[in-house]
Structure 1
Amino acid sequence: MVGQFLFLLAAGVVAGLLATIAGLASLASYPALLLVGIPPVIANVSNTVALIFTGVGAISASLKELRGQWKRVIGYTILAVIGSLLGSSFLLVAPATTFEKVVPFFILVAGVMLLLSGRGTESGAQKRLQEDAQHPRRRRWIQIASFLGIIFVGGYLGYFGAAGGVVLLAILAVITREDFAHYNAVKNVMTFACNITAATLFIFKATIAWQAVLPLGLGLLVGGYCGPLIVRHVNVALLRVLISLASFGLAAVLFYQAYF
């Protein structure tokens, strides 16, 4: 029991770092829950509840980057929460086998999105946004598409807590003019709100492995707080590549388990 507690605590720290640095917390936390014998759907639900602790730590450490962004943050977060409520509701009614079979593809796509988001998209997006600002109709369509995208990703976060933050990072890289540290902070608030929304529903409607949530949550709190501090000083491009490669490996393992 003590060994399991320490294992999940360590996995939570790693997951918290991954959550705030790249939006890929469950690359560590979801497999850790599976390794201690928790069934996939219960592991996913429990993981979502534990991820709330990441948000507490991440937002506390991201206040510097969030300064002056709160109006935009609140707007984006409301859209994401709407999606999260829809996604988490769908998870409760969908068959468990369906969830197990689609998870590997979610993680694969998330890894690709993270990898592509680091290939100069920020500067290119800024240039395009400046050009589109002179065309009201084009700007309006970009806003509509981005808002729909945020709702969809919110649904993704509600349905499957793993890797949804990666997709949010990719969207924010295109629709904002900030550097990585600033839109990563925005992502932290959005994922926190989505996790709270989904977790509230799960607490009343689903089975949660509380004995795993506590150590995992404590680790996520520590990792979530340290992540934004690390983002300010590390080579983000290298981190993206390494985490993307790890996500491909996880997708392959889960694909094999689901189909063979």
Structure 2
Amino acid sequence: MTTWEMLAVLAAGIGAGTINTIVGSGTLITFPVLLATGLPPVVANVSNTLGLVPGSISGAIGYRKELRGQRRRILRLGLTALLGGLVGAVLLLALPSSAFDTIVPVLIGLALILVVLQPKLSAALKRRRAQNGDPETGPHPDGGPALLAGLLLASAYGGYFGAAQGVLYLSLMGLLLNDSLQRINGVKNILGAVVNGVAAVFFLFVAEFDWTAVLLIAVGSALGGQIGAKVGRRLPPTVLRGVIVAVGIVAIIQLLLA
């Protein structure tokens, strides 16, 4: 990498760590930047997954107040996320590279749709909570089988690629858990750390990656995780969604033209 490319990857890591802590979809920033440096798609994806682990942990630490009293929920959902993330990591290496090149633009497109629809999903969540009355209680404090099944699939997707994984988590938990969005977001950061972590451990032994890219994203995402936890809630959601959509479109164009 040139000096300018290294700076771009570091900046992308900071942006990804920030956005991942707030809502998710940080991969839509780091992945196209890594592609622009000349890394092959699978190598870029593996390097990105490894580099985002510190960011996920940093974001979870930033939400430690919201995580209090959720140990049982975190353990149950975390085990599900771990299994799903491992399945996704295995699929990434088991499927041929040509399959990844074909699937990723579709995944990014679906992720962008989720990002755009997030306000409507949030509105539906508010209506559901208003109908239920008390948002802090419910018949399924851990979401029940429906949430476990949904998180398993979302975590498999996260281990495979990960763009908008956080949006999937927030949508699923927001609709199936009767709890505040801030507490749910704290759990989302834990689940992201679990999925990225298990995939990273798997990739360390069996996959090809770029250490320079990994280290730059790791440093950037760790800084971004703290930024997202401290000041991210003050940023206009519309601006964040606009940035994510713009970068995602660039990623799709890059992949289709490669």
TM-score of the superposed pair, with normalisation by structure 2: 0.88
CA RMSD of aligned residues (A): 2.5
The amino acid that maps onto 1:126 is R
Structure 2 CA distance for partners of 1:254 and 1:185, relative to 1, 3 Å: farther
Structure 2: distance between partners of 1:128 and 1:100: 44
Measured after TM superposition, the shift of residue 163 of structure 1 is 2.3
How far the C-alpha of 1:240 sits from its partner, in A, is 5.6
CA offsets 1:180-228 (integer angstroms, 9 cap, x no match): 3321211110010000100111000011111111111101110111112
What is the distance in 2 between the residues matched to 1:151 and 1:82? 7
Q: C-alpha distance in 2, partners of 1:92/1:252?
A: 21
Quick one: structure 1 residues 38 and 233, their matched pair in 2 at CA, closer, same or farther if it must change by over 3 Å?
A: same
Distance in 1, Cα, partners of 2:221 & 2:257: 26
Q: In the comparison of the two structures, how many residue pairs are matched? A: 252
Please say which of residues 241-250 and 54-63 is displaced more in the overlay.
241-250
Partner of 1:63: 64
The structure 1 segments of at least 4 consecutive aligned residues displaced by more than 4 Å after TM superposition are 127-131
Cα pair distance change 1:209/1:128, threshold 3 Å = farther
CA contact (8 A) 1:14 1:28 kept: yes
Any stretches of 5+ residues in structure 1 without a counterpart? none
Q: What SS class does the counterpart of residue 234 from structure 2 fall into?
A: coil
Per the alignment, residue 159 of structure 1 pairs with: 160
Kindly indicate whether the alpha-carbon contact (under 8 Å) linking 2:32 and 2:254 is maintained by their aligned counterparts in 1: no
Q: Structure 2 CA distance, aligned partners of 1:90 and 1:35?
A: 24
Distance 1:121 1:20 in 2: 22
TM-score by length of 1: 0.87
Distance 1:105 1:150 in 2: 20
Query: 5 Å matches for 1:77-88?
Result: 77-88=78-89
Partner residue in 1 for 2:222: 221
Q: Which amino acid aligns with 1:124?
A: R
Identity across matched positions, percent = 32
Query: What residue is the counterpart of 2:192 in the other structure?
Result: 191
- In the alignment, the residues of structure 1 paired with residue 245 and residue 7 of structure 2 have an alpha-carbon distance, to the nearest angstrom, of 26
Partner Cα separation in structure 1 for residue 247 and residue 128 of structure 2: 25
Question: 1:116 maps to which residue?
Answer: 117
